Chain A
Amino acid sequence: DTGVSQNPRHKITKRGQNVTFRCDPISEHNRLYWYRQTLGQGPEFLTYFQNEAQLEKSRLLSDRFSAERPKGSFSTLEIQRTEQGDSAMYLCASSKWTGDYLRDKTQYFGPGTRLLVL
């Protein structure tokens, strides 16, 4: 399977604990995105990388959240001191960006990591 993969698929943690999620994008894709989705809503953009550079962060990404993509391949999203409001599905997507804004920018999504903070 050459799609986007995410691990773990489910995570239950206690409030105040730290959690880390991993995303492996499609191999030739240079852009990687993180989204958060709560029940009944569409995905909300959190941040994205082009290769190893983090180019944009949403104001939703508080200082308890940090994302890395150290070698321009897989990425991790860490949440420190989790709160019950962090309970959500965390989605990762990847795309191939050529620099030509007229080319399509289709993002392909992984299955998500569902986080429950007790």
Chain B
Amino acid sequence: DAKTTQPPSMDCAEGRAANLPCNHSTISGNEYVYWYRQIHSQGPQYIIHGLKNNETNEMASLIITEDRKSSTLILPHATLRDTAVYYCIVSDSNYQLIWGAGTKLIIKP
């Protein structure tokens, strides 16, 4: 079973920041949090990952709470092309990625 919990769907207005939450209350100390997204009929695309500290790259920012039990992916200026399913993933004890159903993010004009 997936080790993360995400809302099934969210809407966001174009140009606004999209904040996608994820709960991973059973995460252990050496497990990373990964975010991927999947645009319809394409392979998953890596977005960002983190261990303890907040991370930022050209696509997004990842905010991880101090207790590491939850995180938020932030797309700072959402565009219509950001409409996708977003997956928050924590690895299992064998360092394999266990995927849930993700959050379907719809960016509205």
- A residues contacting B by CB (< 8 A) are 4, 6, 40-45, 48, 56, 89, 91, 93, 101-102, 104-112, 114
Contacts and interface: CB of A to CB of B under 8 A. Distances in A.
A112 B46 contact: no
Contacts of B49: 104, 106
B96 to A, nearest CB: 6
B97 A107 contact: yes
B43 A42 contact: no
Most-contacted residue by chain A among B98, B99, B100 (CB, 10 A): B99
A106 B101 contact: no
Interface of B: 2, 30, 32, 34, 36, 41-46, 49, 87, 91, 94-102
Given A41-B101, A48-B96, 20 more contacts: A6-B43, A42-B87, A42-B100, A42-B101, A42-B102, A43-B99, A45-B97, A89-B41, A101-B95, A104-B32, A105-B32, A105-B91, A106-B49, A107-B97, A109-B36, A109-B44, A109-B45, A111-B42, A112-B43, A114-B41
A44 B43 CA distance: 13
Contacts of B34: 106
The 7 closest A-B pairs by CB, nearest first: A42-B99, A109-B43, A109-B44, A111-B43, A112-B43, A43-B99, A110-B43
B95 A102 contact: no
B30 A101 contact: yes
Most-contacted residue by chain A among B43, B46, B91, B97 (CB, 10 A): B43
A56 B94 CA distance: 10
Contacts of B46: 106-109
A45 B32 contact: no
A42 B87 CA distance: 8
Nearest to B85: A42
25 contacts: A4-B43, A40-B101, A41-B101, A42-B2, A42-B100, A42-B102, A43-B44, A45-B96, A45-B97, A45-B98, A48-B96, A91-B43, A91-B44, A93-B44, A104-B32, A105-B32, A105-B95, A106-B34, A106-B46, A107-B97, A108-B46, A111-B42, A111-B43, A112-B42, A114-B41
